[in-house]
Amino acid sequence: MSSAGGPAPFTTLAVSRPTEAITHVELHRPEKRNAMNKAFWREMVECFNEIAEDPVCRVVVVSGSGKLFTAGLDLMDMAGDMLHPEGDDTARVSWNVRRLITKYQETFSVIEKCPKPVVAAVHGGCIGGGVDLITACDIRLCTQDAFFQVKEVDIGLAADVGTLQRLPKVIGSSSLVNELALTARKMYADEAKSCGLVSRVFVDKDAMMAGALEMAGEIAARSPVAVQGTKLNLIYARDHSVAEGLNYMATWNMSMLQTADVMKSAQASMEKKSPKDVVFSKL
């Protein structure tokens, strides 16, 4: 894993292993309020592609360093790509802009594609691209002082890297999604919990990180075959009909049920042991 101190360190992320099975990815530009510069968009893809292929990692926690989770897009660093796209004519400029947008979309889609569950731990502000990021995560936690802001309309554009597609699936209220996206108003922690954007609110960052790592530990203790299969099937079910989801699940489990993890887990349950007492093979 490329991380601080590793052979090819990231410049915008700090990657650590609180335990063998948990990977902690921290947005790490505190002096810039974790604003998302060009390097960030590339490094997130590299980081999560590595995590997806890591047989030891079973769950990921994403957080931000410094005073807030992220201020969103680094406008100063990204202005050149946004305001002066290359191309000899309108068609070629448009193709290049589309190519750029789809590349940036992958920065957060890679989180969703990663088979390991991803827990977002948000403190302070989660602005603009931060909302795109956390809506691609599987579980979202925040501190009492956190706020969330779909900021893009304030800089003259429609959010184009995931918020408008994922937020309606996360909170379910089209009226609230429309309000947030069209007004760029801040949503604070209590409202975020009541609408389902986050599942837990903690008094401060220390308490939240302890809670996030505890939750990650509970997930990591379960069979990785079961956990990763659950994530992938939840995402498939979100985007398909019930009938399609059931058919996909049946096809999935016709092979995945043939794992030793089922017998190990069942035996541990009958013996009233914790999942943490069971040793599962790497995946």
Where are the chain's structural domains? 13-220, 224-277
**In contact, 137 and 119? CB cutoff 8 Å:** yes
Helix H or strand E segment including 24: strand 22-27
Under DSSP, the state recorded for 11 is S
Domain 224-277, architecture per CATH:
Orthogonal Bundle (1.10)
Residue 37 tokens read as 């510069």
Query: Quick one: pLDDT at residue 79?
Result: 77
CB proximity list for 9: less than 8 A, separation 6 or greater: 2, 3
More confident residue, 274 or 247: 247
13-220 CATH fold = 2-enoyl-CoA Hydratase; Chain A, domain 1 (3.90.226)
What's the pLDDT band for 8 if we cut at 50, 70, 90? low
Interatomic CA distance for residues 283 and 281, integer angstroms:
6
pLDDT of residue 5: 39
Residue-wise pLDDT tens digits, 16-36:
999 999 999 999 999 999 999
pLDDT at 102 (0 to 100): 96
For the segment 134-146, what is each residue's pLDDT rounded down to a tens digit? 999 999 999 999 9
Average pLDDT of 253-271? 93
pLDDT in the model for residue 78 = 83
Residue 184: Cβ within 10 Å count? 16
Least confident piece of the model among 21-25, 60-64, 80-84: 80-84
Evaluate if residue 82 carries a pLDDT over 80: no
Same fold flag, 13-220 and 224-277: no
Residues 185, 131: contact at Cβ < 8 Å? no
Buried b (16+ CB within 10 A) or exposed e, 188-222: ebeebbebebbeebbeebeebbebbbebbbebbbb
SS3 127: strand
